[in-house]
Amino acid sequence: MERGFVLRELFKQAITLVIFYFVLKHVWGTEQWFNDKVKELLFFLSIGIIYFIASLAPVIVSRPVVITISQVNKRFNQSSTTFSIKGRSRTQDHERTVSLQVTVLRKQSIWGVICCKILKHYQPKIAIEPATPGIIIQKDIAGTRSDITETSTGLILDISSYLSSIINNSPSGIFSKVIDYKISDQPLNPVTDETIHIIPNLMCGGRKAPYWLSSIIRYDNSNCGHVVHFKRG
């Protein structure tokens, strides 16, 4: 039930009970049955207050946003990419393009305003880089985006403005944004046959986000990795 409706109904019933109490007290204030009836009405009013407080519990304990990352090979719709740079099995550009989706679940929470202030101060970003040397991640040349910057081995996706906009403009809902990147070999760190993982990390100020930030923003990276099976020949 919608909490605003519960509060309005509780307030109207409280006013009705107060008026009812003073009318009856004026007429039958000395009667025992009246005192018993007052106790009964107070009991039901207390139940209503307890119910309303209980309905607020999810809003108090819920984090405003939950961020989930997923990555799939755009050509084969798989969570892995086979990357060969020589021979007949050489991988074409469109076969090593990965689509990364950021899904944001906006939940009703009393911590929305505080979350916005934290976002403004810490400017969280998502670093998309290989866990080990051998490959580099490059922005898709099909388009330019101001929220993406390149590093020596990968990409940095700025999500602070995106999250702030969601929190300020919507009390709840599911939102998503997608970026495409291309996997290339890294000439300065050549490898032969290796399995390389691409696991996005939540960053603040150039380093991993502090642990306490998870009390406001939940970053679910349990299934966000992408596996690259690298083959030189």
**142 has a pLDDT exceeding 70:** no
Burial of 173 (0-12, 13-18, 19+ CB in 10 A): exposed
**42 has a pLDDT exceeding 60:** yes
Total residues found in the chain within this entry = 233
**127 has a pLDDT exceeding 60:** yes
Architecture of the CATH domain 62-231:
Sandwich (2.60)
- So where are the chain's domains? 3-60, 62-231
Q: Quote the pTM value.
A: 0.77
Pairing of strands 155-158, 173-185: unpaired
Residue 156's pLDDT is: 95
Percentage of residues in the chain having pLDDT higher than 90: 46
Residue 30's pLDDT is: 67
Mean pLDDT over the full length of the chain: 85
The number of helices, as runs of H, and strands, as runs of E, in the chain is 4, 13
Chain centroid to CA 45: 38
More confident position, 171 or 86: 171
Do 74 and 22 touch, CB atoms closer than 8 A?
no
**Residue 188 CA: distances (Å) to CA of 13, 54, 135, 140, 156:** 74, 59, 10, 21, 21
Compute the distance between CA of residue 125 and CA of residue 219 in angstroms, rounded to an integer: 11
**144 has a pLDDT exceeding 80:** no
- Kindly report, residue by residue over 157-215, the tens digit of the pLDDT: 999 999 999 999 998 999 999 999 999 998 888 888 899 999 999 999 889 999 889 88
Residue 22's pLDDT is: 75
Contacts of 75 (CB under 8 A, 6+ apart): 94, 95, 97
The mean pLDDT of 110-132, rounded to a whole number, is: 92
**141 has a pLDDT exceeding 70:** no
In this structure, the number of other CB atoms found within 10 A of the CB of residue 147 comes to: 14
Compute the distance between CA of residue 120 and CA of residue 171 in angstroms, rounded to an integer: 19
